[in-house]
A and B are shown apart, each in its own frame.
Chain A
Amino acid sequence: MTPFIRIRNVTRRFGDVLAVDDLSLDIDRGELFCLLGASGCGKTTLLRMLAGFERVDSGSIEIDGIDMAAVPPAARPVNIMFQNYALFPHMSVADNIAYGLRRAGLPKPEIVARLEELLRLVRLDGMGGRKPHQLSGGQRQRVALARALARRPKLLLLDEPLAALDKKLREDTQFELVDIQERLETTFIVVTHDQEEAMTLASRIGVMDAGRLVQVDTPRTLYDRPCNSFIADFLGTVSFLEGVVASVNDGSIMVDGPVPVTAANPGGFAVGDVVRMAVRPEKIALGPEARGAINEIPVTVEDLAFTGVATNYRVIGPEGVRLKLTQPNRRGEAASLEWEQQGFVSFDPADVVLLRD
């Protein structure tokens, strides 16, 4: 079975800059796929190429088995929700949503019926008569979503759909968006620079850097098994340790460095290889006493910040090794360490990610 969207060796150049560099990607029907990357990484260019606003210099884009090279934006089974929503300011909510239906020349009763259905879908019943400037940011976002969904596209592209909303509203809207996507079974491609947004929304994430896809995986795999330090650093917080492989036994590996580390999953490393190890902050335990655990390091608390759910620590170990870690605020937990206090950190060998770069 061919994938629903097939992007093959697509390249787009702006002057000397390669915005999208020989990129290939398959996306299945009904997926909520996230393109994640910093601004200027080429994710928006790729989105605009899918919508048909941007030329493809070389390579091909197929949607539902049809090559899109000669298909203009209006004729593609694709709609886009713009970052600033791009609502028509001179039209009412209803006219905005019905715009695509009217262009398609649908009979009037059907337009009215679909309009009602869409207003209900985005919980804007009875708001059809308002103008965009009379709506809140969240309502405008929902109008934009309804307008983009009106023509029942096979593929919906969303450019930073939540960026213009404040934090609290963003969290609610994330779940709503996923809910609507699951109900309609439309394929969504979301472009975002916000890794948390990507993690909560997507079934799969493609992380982009300098016009290329660095890694495409589920949020959990990306977080737990990043393929290089760029991904590890880009998604969430991470501490890096460096060293040289001292010995390899089956299932575990010893690394010599400023602090000796034991790691599981040797993954093709041999004695003498230089490795970088990444450890997530929540996988590191902190206590005042040594417990004789594996990967136990004596440290001094350098800095701490209380965030409510947890406390974030920055600690310094032997030879200036710095680690970032998070301790949840649980009831009945032993008193946490304070500034300048000495203690011990430890982490499980299975939680150490070995990286080559």
Chain B
Amino acid sequence: MAASMMAGRRWISRHGRRLVVALPLLWLLIFFLMPLVEVAQTSFTTARRGIPPFAPLWGFDKDGFFTNFNLKNYGLLLDYWQDYIGPAGNSLRLAFFSTLICLLFAYPMAWWIARSNPRQRAILLVLVMLPFWTSSLLRIYALIGLLNPNGFINSMLIFLGVIDTPLRMMQTDFSIYMGMLLTYLPLMILPLYAVMIRLEDDLLDAAADLGASRAGVFMTVVLPLTLPGIVAGSLLVFIPAVGEFVIPALLGGPEQIMVGKVLWTEFFRNRDWPVASAIAMLLLALLALPIIYARYQDGREAAIDRVGGQGGAP
């Protein structure tokens, strides 16, 4: 009995670390990778009436193994690319400018938070994260309440006599980007804050001491050293922004169709899950491949840094 307990304890001490990693890994495998595989499979099969509304990709029946594998869905996307390229372009444009706007707002905010004293910093960080604790839908409805023709801002401006007729703010690019900024700003601030907090004041002083102007300090020291935060924050905003469905639907006009809307239409209106899956897979490939490539390049550079560069003149 005692011996087996000892053995058990020894097993835990030996494999405990692996266990701690294995459990979350298993969780990711089941709830993250499996649905992805499911979507990938669906993108290669055919739609049909029934539940689920598509034929299984493979299986066994009385004749043995069968498969419905085909590339028809991707072929369809290729044939009708003109119908899809517009929404894809709209989505990429929305994501790009949303990321840029978030970056422009987040960079000075993160800098300010990182440079304030520790007590103030804690409060400011909580304020940044606070909106995450309410429903994003609720926040968007609040924004609608502000921007409506008879909403708070217009009422206020008319009351103050600044304008006679309400400004059209809803269902414009302005309202969409306001919504995107409202939703995604914390995702940009946090990674920027994380790199800025590690930036030592002495580095800025050293650059100034060696003759750099304020702009020079920023360009040669601050920007390169916060670049990892810029990249991380931009990815965190850009990727979900491409597929964003709710914000353009609620705040945007009917004229601009985003990829998210196309996906929704294929899934729920046309009930063509395989085509919708194919769109999702293409989108994933479009977003993931450049990132994987960039990470691979990063890794190579780091490896060169470690191995090479041991000597040699500049």
Contacts and interface: CB of A to CB of B under 8 A. Distances in A.
B211 A151 contact: yes
Contacts of B224: 90
B312 A128 contact: yes
A103 B202 contact: no
A74 B208 contact: yes
Contacts of A95: 314
B202 A79 contact: no
Interface stretch (A129-137, A273-281, A303-311): A129-137
A53 B305 CA distance: 34
Contacts of A129: 309-314
Interface centre among B205, B209, B221, B313, by most chain A C-beta atoms within 10 angstroms, is B209
Nearest to A90: B224
Interface string A73-89: 11000111011101011
Contact of B200 (A86, A131, A147, A150): A86
Interface in A119-148: 126-131, 134, 147
Say what secondary structure dominates the interface of chain B: helix
Contacts of B200: 84, 86
A130 B202 contact: no
Interface in A61-104: 72-74, 78-80, 82-84, 86, 88-90, 92, 94-95, 98-100, 103-104
Given A53-B205, A84-B200, A84-B202, A126 B311 contact: yes
Interface string B220-253: 1100110000000000000000000000000000
Contacts of B311: 126-127, 129-130
A115 interface: yes
B211 A103 contact: yes
Interface in B116-163: none
Interface in A299-335: none
Contacts of B312: 126, 128-129
B214 to A, nearest CB: 10
Contacts of A74: 208-213
B78 interface: no
A99 B309 contact: no
A92 B314 CA distance: 8
Contact of A103 (B216, B225, B309, B314): B216
Consensus secondary structure, chain A interface: loop
Contacts of B225: 89-90
A35 B299 CA distance: 46
A147 B210 contact: yes
A99 B213 CA distance: 12
A282 B247 CA distance: 82
A19 to B, nearest CB: 17
Given A86-B200, A88-B221, A99 B210 contact: yes
Contacts of A78: 209
B36 interface: no
B223 to A, nearest CB: 10
Interface string B270-314: 000000000000000000000000000000000001100111111
Contact of A115 (B202, B306, B309, B314): B314
A74 B203 CA distance: 14
Nearest to A82: B202
Which 4 pairs, one residue from A and one from B, show the smallest C-beta to C-beta distance? A94-B314, A100-B210, A103-B211, A86-B202
24 contacts: A51-B209, A72-B208, A73-B205, A74-B209, A74-B212, A78-B209, A79-B209, A82-B206, A83-B202, A86-B206, A88-B203, A88-B206, A90-B224, A99-B207, A99-B212, A127-B311, A128-B312, A129-B310, A129-B314, A130-B309, A130-B310, A131-B309, A134-B305, A147-B210
Interface of A: 51-53, 72-74, 78-80, 82-84, 86, 88-90, 92, 94-95, 98-100, 103-104, 115, 126-131, 134, 147, 150-151
Given A72-B208, A80-B209, A130-B311, 19 more contacts: A73-B208, A74-B208, A79-B209, A80-B205, A86-B203, A86-B205, A88-B203, A88-B207, A89-B225, A94-B314, A95-B314, A98-B314, A99-B220, A115-B314, A126-B311, A127-B311, A129-B309, A129-B313, A134-B306
